[in-house]
Structure formats: C-alpha cells, structure tokens
Homo-oligomer: A and B are copies of this chain.
Amino acid sequence: MATMKDVARRAGVSTATVSRVLNGHSAPTPETRARVLAAVEALEYRPNVLARSLRVHSTQTLGLVISDLLNPFFAEIARAVEDEARKHGYVVIFGNADENVEQQERYVRTLLDRRVDGLLVCPATDDDGWVSEVSARNVPLVLLDRRIDVGGAPVVNADGAAALRELAAHLVKLGHRRIGVISGPEDTSTGRERLHAFNDALRSLGHPVAPDLVTHGDFRRRSGADAASWLLGRPEPPTVLVAMDNLMGLGALEELRRLGRRIPDEVGLAIYDDQPWFPLFEPAITVVAQPTEEMGGAAVRSLLALINGEQPAEVHLDARLIVRASCGERL
C-alpha cells in the first residue's frame, strides 16, 4: 500500500503539501495540486484512516448497542441508524447485547476502546453502571428507545401513551372487559411506561385492568408464549391479550395456535410494534406501530449534534394505533 510519503516523493513535494491538497486546506498552487492528484491516482493511494484518527482524535465512527438484532424492531432501528450515519459520512459498529447487562457493558467498553465518536445505546435494563465509563471518557451518548435515569444523555423514543389510550378505547368498545396484559420487564422504561399508560387509559374508561391479568415477560418470544399460557389458564381467563412487544406477541400467537383458540372469537390479540407480516396473519393483527425509521434517523442526528458541541435534542415521536381484525367486532 502506497503511503503519503510515496505520493509526496512522486509528486516532488512534501507530505505536508500532499495532506493539504487532500484535505482542501489553505491553498496549494493549482499546478502543485494537479501534480499531487496525479500521483495519488497513479499510486492508487488511499489514506490510512487509523493514522489519521490517531492524529486528529476522531474516527468518523458511531457505536450502536442494541438488545437483540433478531428482534425485527431493533433490526429496523439498526438499519435506519446505519443509513443516516452513512449519509453523514459516518460508519457504524454494532454490538449485540442479547438483552444481557454484562454483555452490554462489555460492548460499550469495546466500542469506547475503538474510539467511536459517539455512542447510541438501547439499554437492556435500567442498570446504569456502564454510563459512568462513557461520561468519564466524555464520549457523546444518546439513549434510544429505552430511557434510564442518567443526567445529560438525551433520549430518542416513541411515546405510546396516546396510541395505548386509543387501543384501550377500541377494546372496551368491542366489549372486552377481561383484558390480559403481557408486559415487558419492570426494569425497563418501555416495560413500565407502556403498562402504566395502558392501565391509566383503562382506568379512566372505568374498566381498570384486573391485577391478576398482568404478567411480565422479557421481550422475547418464549416469555410471550408462557405468559399467554398462564393467562389463559386463569379461572376467569381474559377475552383479549395485549402483548407489549412484537416478539412476545409472536410467542402469544404461537401459544394461541398451539391451544387451538380461534382469534378473535375465543381470544383477541393486540401487539405493540408492527411488522410487515402482521397484516397477513388470519386475522390481521391489530397493533401499535412505532416509527422506527424516524427514531433511528433522529437518534443519529441528535448524536451528531452532540458531537459537534451543539444542544442535545430530545426527540419523542408518537406511536400510533392500527386497527385490524384480531380483537374482534363484538359490539
């Protein structure tokens, strides 16, 4: 691989001049410029990013730690993040935390060691041990999807309260009174907030959720199936299941199929997070959809603002209800 020195030699100038030409600095003569560019061409010179980064303390790299790449919600986020980052000339390094705090912490450290210019994290849980390390190295940090109580880091997420209110009204209107909730973990903000928003909505409609019909999963498929199984085994089983995440929803659906329950006649189902295949189920699934693409894009933009020393921008988008057929029409 040709280095800058080689280019300089061939163009008959110093490396400083080569650097200036390549970075559009100050003003080398048009002739010098041409000679340098010719040499670059001839030698197929490509700058060594490592050397440059070492010198200028910036890697044009963003770190993204997500909970689970196999969760289509996070895959969409990852995709959007990568897309927006690329538009701004940044590259993204991903880390998969697997909904696991230790692995998340390891990855944060790895990414910091790689000298990312900024960090995007979808926290696995409320645990914030890793944050101190990030701020100690003062690397800009943006929290994505899930919030944790930590000073300074802006949060980009989708607010589901309004959509959940609509969902509650929808279910009540259809005559559902025993509503089973498959909530996320209590130690995640999304787990808590969705449940509370939904509870509040039902209460204000005069139909508070029965406490024995609320279960907590872990945002994974298996836990959704288990929760559904448990809920349907109650003495007075629910007439509809609300899963607060797409994987748990999938698990619940799986269990309903396994038990042979007809949807929505025997049990209704609503899921938080939309997926391209949800409309294709029989019946099509009623969902609360999050604007994943916008979330990813906004998160990157907030992070870049932070990196450029600008005001950190908090962004709260709105989730929205998409009524399909899976909750029935029992007016």
A47 within 8 A of B: yes
Please tell me if the beta carbons of B96 and A114 are within 8 angstroms of each other in the complex.
Answer: no
Q: Which residues of B contact A294 (CB under 8 A)?
A: none
Q: Which residues of B contact A275 (CB under 8 A)?
A: 277
Q: When chains A and B are docked, how far (Å) is the Cα of A92 from the Cα of B94?
A: 7
For A68, give the chain B residue with the smallest CB separation.
Answer: B79
A70-B76, A277-B277, A280-B257 given; A50·B59 CB < 8 A: yes
Q: A271-311 vs B: 1/0 string, CB under 8 Å? A: 00001110111100000000000000000000000000000
Q: When chains A and B are docked, how far (Å) is the Cα of A44 from the Cα of B137?
A: 11
A50: which of B70, B95, B115, B136 is its contact (CB, 8 Å)?
A: B115
Q: When chains A and B are docked, how far (Å) is the Cα of A110 from the Cα of B61?
A: 11
Please tell me if the beta carbons of B48 and A50 are within 8 angstroms of each other in the complex.
Answer: no
Q: Which residues of B contact A317 (CB under 8 A)?
A: none
Q: Please report A residues at the B interface, Cβ cutoff 8 Å.
A: 1, 44, 46-51, 53-54, 59, 69-70, 72, 75-76, 78-79, 82-83, 91-96, 110, 112-115, 136-137, 221, 250, 253-254, 257, 275-277, 279-282
The 9 closest A-B pairs by CB, nearest first: A282-B282, A69-B79, A50-B54, A75-B75, A50-B53, A49-B113, A50-B50, A82-B96, A253-B280
Q: A92-B94, A280-B281 are in contact. List 13 more A-B contacts (CB 8 A).
A: A48-B115, A50-B115, A69-B78, A69-B79, A70-B75, A70-B79, A72-B75, A75-B75, A83-B96, A221-B276, A250-B277, A254-B280, A277-B281
